Structures are given as structure tokens and as C-alpha cells.
């Protein structure tokens, strides 16, 4: 109850309808009926954070120096660890003083970057389907998203040539994300070269979201956008410790690349937040300096689940490509179903919860997403239940 009129600001009222609301309701219903739900809808690792990282956090939490406000741009030692990791992993040289910024999870940076570079009425180029924070951050800054459909015919890469000149002229930012959530597609050097050329031609800042760069399979190894010559002239890359080290709850990530873009995002942040708990940054240093075996073990777990689930679903006649990276399967829905209809069928008939592709944008219609974030017994159980299903 309130005695004044409490009206939401336009930016809140203009938020797109929450497409997962129906699914959330069905999920609650199923749970209240005691259904043994298998939740493949969330991109949140079920594996605990590696021990070396947790132990470093325990020690760091006891140091009173870490109890005070952290520095805005992040501990220099954390930024040096990021630069060292980039050199080792991608052979990209970064200046930790001016080309690296710590973030309270990459979502934070992604949502805030339009505030630094987008004026009301400006356009931002956003893939569809996509991580919903790109269009939401754009909306909060008063910008308009122009959606670039990711289709199977284009290997789920945006067709930059299809963007009308007048749209490109009004665009300030381009978001891209490979390995991609939700399609699990990957990008190569040719694509990144095309992106750089496009950005130079139209004066557009490129924001590459590389949250899944370390979740890869077989002999494939994703590259960094910044490995491409000229990338640093046009943009930045967002990274997260969340998926790489099973640290979604810790809230730590970073942005690297073009000094001016980093500076702009930093300016928003100094006025908005006060950095990351230093003990978490110390744990972040430990994470980035972990031996390769730490991430290898994580990848092995996902690989086993991926191999089993992809094979089982294909045997059942579902149409999907085995992902080279990310922990998602992007599955075509059978003929005659929409994304929502097939999601509903799976939930009602088998208790398996997936995400309808159109929840990530219109161009995601015709697909569902499954996350490999349940253990192998639940993967087997998933296949067992689907085997009994007809569509
Ligand atoms: C999970 C995810 C992020 C955000 O991760 P943080 O936990 O905020 O660091 C960013 N982009 C994509 C595509 C993601 O799936």
C-alpha cells in the first residue's frame, strides 16, 4: 500500500515482456506437484569452484587490508594476472595499467557500457538470439537495438553486409559473442577481420563477449577477438571467471582492449560502484594462475555430458550440431512445434526443463537450448525420459 502514486520510469515500463514468465510458472507448478524436475534451462555450472581458489579466498578474507574499499579499477596485481593470462593463453599483449578493467561479473560491464557511449536515440547492433543484457543495457541508456539475426545458413554469425548504411551510420556499438550463448556457435579469424573492417568503416565500437572462451571440446580452441590485427583499435573484450572456473556466485570478471573504451567504461563505474571485494580479486589471481589441469578437469566433465547427450538426442531424431564450445546444445524443434510448444511438451510429459529459443530474441524461434549443467546420471535420466516421448 502506498499513499502516493508510484509510477515506474519509462525505461522500466519499456522493458520487453519477460518471455520466460510462462516457463517459470509451469516450473513452479511442476515442483509443487512433486515432479522430479531435470532443470537444463540454466547456464550456471553445477560443479564447485576449484579448491585452490576457495582456499586463497579463505586466507584473503582474514586480511584486514582487504576489508576496506577496494580500488576502482581493480587491484593492479589482479590486472597484471589478467594481462599475464592473456599473453599465455592468446599471445596478446595488454598494458595492465590502462587496457584492463575489473568488473563485478561481466554482466555488470556489459550492461553499463552503453551508458558511456550511447546517447538517447543512438543505435546499437545486437545479435538475435542473444544474451539478454545487450539489448537491456542499450535500453537503459536510451538507445535502440537493431537486431542482427543469427541463422544456421550463416553459421550463426551476423551478416554485416545486410545492415543498411543509414543504420550503420547511427550505430555506436556492436555486440558480438563467441563462443556463442545460446547457439553454441564459434567464430574464426575471417569473421573477426570482417568485423574490424566494418567497425573502421562506420566508426563503431566493438564489444566482444568471450565468457565461454575456456569451455571448449575436442581439438578446438576459441581465439580472442584481440588476436586479430587491428582489434584493439576498435574495441574491447569482456571476460568472466564465472564459467571458466565455476565462479558465478563470486561476481568477478573483466574487460580488456582499447584504452579509450576501457577508460569510458571505467568512468561510469567510478561513479556507480566501488569495485570488487579485494579478497575475491586475490581469489581471481589464484584462478588465473591455476595450472592448466584445473580447467582441463572442468572441460572433461562437460565433454562427457556433451558426448552422451548429443548422441542420445540425435538417436532420438532431434536435429542438433555437437557444440565445439560452450555448455549449451542448440536444438531444432521437431516439425509442427514452436519453441514454446516444444518446451511445454518436454516439461509436461517428461519433467525436463529447457529454454525456448525465442526467449533470447525473435530469431531464436524454432530452437530450444539445453545446458550441460547437470551430472551424468541426470543426463542418462534425461535420455531415458525422452526415449519414451512421442512428437
Ligand atoms: C554467463 C554469461 C555472462 C555473464 O557472466 P558473469 O557471471 O556476469 O561474469 C556474460 N555473457 C554471456 C554470454 C553469458 O552467458
Residue 388 has pLDDT above 90, yes or no: no
Mean per-residue pLDDT of the chain: 96
For ligand 1, atom 2: residue with the closest CA:
211
Q: Evaluate: CB of 107 within 6 angstroms of ligand 1.
A: yes
CA 133 to ligand 1 centroid distance, Å = 9
For ligand 1, atom 14: residue with the closest CA:
211
pLDDT of residue 241: 98
Q: Evaluate: CB of 182 within 6 angstroms of ligand 1.
A: no
Q: Among 74-78, 170-174, 325-329, 380-384, which is the least confidently predicted range? A: 74-78
pLDDT mean over 319-346: 97
pLDDT-derived band at 87, boundaries 50, 70, 90: very high
pLDDT of residue 23: 79
Q: Evaluate: CB of 242 within 6 angstroms of ligand 1.
A: yes
Q: Evaluate: CB of 105 within 6 angstroms of ligand 1.
A: yes
pLDDT of residue 167: 98
pLDDT-derived band at 380, boundaries 50, 70, 90: very high
pLDDT in tens, 349-366: 999 999 999 999 999 999
Ligand 1: residue of 101, 240, 255, 256 to mutate (most ligand atoms within 8 A of CB) is: 240
pLDDT mean over 319-347: 97
CA 38 to ligand 1 centroid distance, Å = 22
Percent of the chain clearing pLDDT 90 (strictly above): 94
CA 332 to ligand 1 centroid distance, Å = 24
pLDDT-derived band at 19, boundaries 50, 70, 90: confident
Grid coordinates representing 213 are 572462451
pLDDT mean over 176-192: 98
Residue 311 has pLDDT above 80, yes or no: yes
Q: Which atom of ligand 1 is nearest to the CA of 243?
A: 1
Q: Which atom of ligand 1 is nearest to the CA of 103?
A: 9
CA 104 to ligand 1 centroid distance, Å = 11
pLDDT mean over 290-307: 97
Q: Which atom of ligand 1 is nearest to the CA of 247?
A: 7
pLDDT of residue 163: 98
pLDDT of residue 74: 82
Residue 73 has pLDDT above 80, yes or no: no
Q: Which atom of ligand 1 is nearest to the CA of 110?
A: 10
pLDDT mean over 72-82: 91
pLDDT in tens, 141-179: 999 999 999 999 999 999 999 999 999 999 999 999 999
Q: Among 17-26, 72-81, 116-125, 271-280, which is the least confidently predicted range? A: 17-26
pLDDT of residue 71: 84
pLDDT mean over 196-217: 98
CA 113 to ligand 1 centroid distance, Å = 14
Q: Evaluate: CB of 239 within 6 angstroms of ligand 1.
A: no
pLDDT of residue 72: 76
Residue 20 has pLDDT above 90, yes or no: no
Q: Which atom of ligand 1 is nearest to the CA of 239?
A: 9
Amino acid at each position: 500500500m502506498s499513499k502516493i502514486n508510484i509510477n515506474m520510469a519509462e525505461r522500466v515500463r519499456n522493458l520487453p515482456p519477460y518471455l520466460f514468465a510462462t516457463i517459470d510458472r509451469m516450473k513452479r507448478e511442476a515442483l509443487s506437484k512433486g515432479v522430479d524436475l531435470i532443470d537444463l534451462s540454466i547456464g550456471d555450472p553445477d560443479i564447485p569452484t576449484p579448491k585452490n581458489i576457495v582456499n586463497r579466498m579463505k586466507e584473503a578474507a582474514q586480511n584486514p587490508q582487504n576489508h576496506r574499499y577496494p580500488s576502482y579499477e581493480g587491484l593492479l596485481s589482479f590486472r597484471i594476472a589478467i594481462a599475464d593470462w592473456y599473453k599465455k593463453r592468446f599471445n596478446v599483449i595488454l598494458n595492465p595499467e590502462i587496457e584492463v578493467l575489473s568488473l563485478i561479473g561481466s554482466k555488470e560491464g556489459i550492461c553499463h557500457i552503453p551508458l558511456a557511449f550511447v546517447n538517447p536515440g543512438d543505435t546499437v547492433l545486437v545479435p538475435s538470439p542473444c544474451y539478454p543484457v545487450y539489448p537491456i543495457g542499450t535500453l537503459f541508456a536510451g538507445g535502440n537495438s537493431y537486431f542482427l539475426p543469427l541463422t544456421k545458413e550463416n553459421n550463426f554469425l551476423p551478416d554485416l553486409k545486410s545492415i543498411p548504411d543509414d543504420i550503420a551510420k547511427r550505430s555506436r556499438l556492436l555486440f558480438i559473442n563467441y563462443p556463442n550463448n545460446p547457439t553454441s556457435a564459434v567464430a574464426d579469424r575471417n569473421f573477426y577481420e570482417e568485423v574490424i573492417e566494418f567497425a573502421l568503416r562506420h566508426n563503431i565500437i566493438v564489444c566482444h563477449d568471450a565468457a565461454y572462451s575456456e569451455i571448449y571440446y575436442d581439438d578446438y580452441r576459441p581465439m580472442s577477438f584481440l588476436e586479430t590485427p587491428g582489434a584493439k583499435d576498435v574495441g574491447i573484450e569482456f571476460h568472466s571467471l564465472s564459467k571458466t572456473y565455476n565462479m558465478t556466485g563470486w561476481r568477478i570478471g573483466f574487460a580488456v582492449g582499447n584504452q579509450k573504451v576501457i577508460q569510458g567504461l571505467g568512468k561510469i563505474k567510478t561513479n556507480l560502484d566501488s569495485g570488487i571485494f579485494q579478497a575475491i580479486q586475490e581469489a581471481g589471481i589464484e584462478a588465473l594462475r591455476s595450472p592448466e589441469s584445473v580447467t582441463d578437469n572442468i572441460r572433461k566433465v562437460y565433454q562427457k555430458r556433451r558426448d552422451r547427450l548429443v548422441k542420445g538426442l540425435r538417436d532420438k531424431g532431434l536435429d542438433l550440431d555437437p557444440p565445439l564450445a560452450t555448455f549449451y546444445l542448440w536444438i531444432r524443434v521437431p516439425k509442427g512445434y514452436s519453441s514454446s510448444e516444444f518446451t511445454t511438451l518436454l516439461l509436461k510429459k517428461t519433467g525436463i526443463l529447457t529454454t525456448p529459443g525465442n526467449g533470447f530474441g525473435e530469431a531464436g524461434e524454432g530452437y530450444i537450448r539445453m545446458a550441460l549443467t547437470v551430472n551424468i546420471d541426470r543426463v542418462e535420466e534425461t535420455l531415458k525420459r525422452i526415449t519414451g516421448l512421442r512428437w
